A and B are shown apart, each in its own frame.
Chain A
Amino acid sequence: MRIHLTSLFVDDQAKALQFYTEVLGFVKKTDVPVGEDRWLTVVSAEDPDGVELVLEPSGHPAVKPYRDALIDDGIPMTAFEVADVQAEYERLSALGVKFTQQPIEMDSISTAVFDDSCGNLIQIIHSA
C-alpha cells in the first residue's frame, strides 16, 4: 500500500490552481468538472507520477471550524519538502506570500510555515 492522494480544502479552486502552479511551481495533473466544482489535482514537477494533491472545495460546513481552529494555533496540516528553506522563504516572500513562521534551523531540520491564501497553513521542510 502506498499514499496516492492527499487533499487540501481550498476556498476557491481557480485561485488555488493559480497559487499552487504559478507561485509554488506544482504541475496540474487532473482537472475534471464534477457538478459545480472540479476534481482538481496537482503534482510536483520533480515527481509527476508521485502523490497527487487534491485541491478540494471547502464548502462542507465542517471545514471552516476545523481550519479556523488550526490556523488560530498556527498549525500546518501539510508539509512540502524543499532543497533550501531559507531560499524558498526569500523567493516566496518576494512574491507576496505571507509567512506565519520564518525559517528556523534546529539540529538537522529547517522549517518555515506560510499561508497558501486559500485557507491553509503549509510547512516547508528540509532535513539534512
Chain B
Amino acid sequence: MADELFKALADSTRRTILDELAERSGQTLFELCTRLSVKHQLRMSRQAVSQHLAVLEQAGLVESRREGRYKYHDLNVGPLQSITERWISPEETEHKS
C-alpha cells in the first residue's frame, strides 16, 4: 500500500487532481476533465484522466461511488495520515510546541 501511495503522489497531474477534489469532493469524470483543461491548461484525453484516477483509487486516495446513473469521485485523505505517522511521532510535535 505504501509504494502505491508514494507512486500515486509522485505525479504532478495526480496531485492536481487531488487539489481539485479537495476544493470540491464528489466530481464526475467530466467535471475533473473540465477543471484540468480550463483551470490548469492540461491537454489530456479522458482516458488519460481515467487512468490517473485508477492509480489514485489503487492508493486509496480517491474513492468512487455510484448514485443512480451517475458516478462521482471523492477525495480520501486517510492514507496521508500514514505518512505523518511514519516519521513524525506525537512526542516530536509536542517538543516543538
Interface residues of A (CB under 8 A from B): 68, 71-76, 100-102, 104, 106-107, 109, 111, 113, 121
Contacts and interface: CB of A to CB of B under 8 A. Distances in A.
Interface in B49-77: 69-71
Given A73-B46, A74-B70, A74-B71, A101 B31 contact: yes
A100 B28 CA distance: 7
Nearest to A107: B38
Contacts of B30: 73-76, 101, 113, 121
B94 to A, nearest CB: 41
A124 B95 CA distance: 53
17 contacts: A68-B69, A71-B70, A72-B71, A73-B28, A74-B29, A100-B31, A101-B30, A101-B31, A102-B24, A104-B24, A104-B31, A104-B34, A107-B38, A107-B39, A109-B38, A113-B30, A121-B30
